Structures are given as structure tokens and as C-alpha cells.
Structure 1
Amino acid sequence: MTKTELRRYCRESGHCTRLSKNRIMLHADDVANIIAWVRAKRAKKDEWWTADETDKDPFA
């Protein structure tokens, strides 16, 4: 994982403490949470066609 990917994952998942513009701080719990978040995101990638009950088609 590159620095840029890590920053983006932290920003998207919200599992970090922002120190300044491009600096973040991670705790051991944050690392475990980010890993779990990335794994869940990749697992959902293969199921993009399944519709969630909360998703409503505006054109239907």
C-alpha cells in the first residue's frame, strides 16, 4: 500500500486522527479497522449488481 492509498483509505473510512494537511496519526486499533474496511470493500466489489433494499430506482 502506498502512502497515497493509505491517506485515501483513512479519509474514506474515517479511521485516523488528522494532524495537519497531509499528516495523519494511526493507533493500533485504527490499523486493524482500516484493514477490515479494505477487506469488506473488496468483498463488496464482486457483488455490485445486487440491489440493497434501501436503494430505490428513481426511474422505476
Structure 2
Amino acid sequence: MALESFNEILIQLRALGLIDQGIKKRGVNDRSSYWRITPLGDRHLVSLLARRKPVAVPEA
């Protein structure tokens, strides 16, 4: 994936409130960016992956 495309995806996920920058303490030499899922992102992910029970249709 091109870096530009990856950055656009990150911006969209941040704009939607689904991810934030990670806040965990890192080593002094670690200059990488880290991301974490927000509570909203977690709820959305669970709703996408949850298996839904089929709705029973009453017979007429």
C-alpha cells in the first residue's frame, strides 16, 4: 500500500473518532507512530463482527 493511501486512511479513521494516537510510554530511540482504537471504534468493530440472530418472520 502506498504511504499516501495509508495516511489518508489514518486521517479518515481519526476524523470518525475510531482511532487516536497511542499514549503508551516508549523508549527514547523509538520515533514510530502508534495508534489505539477508541471506545467508539471498539463498539463499531464489535457491531461489524457480531453475528446477528436471524429475525423470525411470523406466519400469516
TM-score in same-fold range (> 0.5):
no
Over alpha carbons, which structure has the higher Rg?
2
Q: TM-score, normalised by structure 2?
A: 0.34
More helix by share: 1
The TM-score with structure 1 as length reference comes to: 0.34
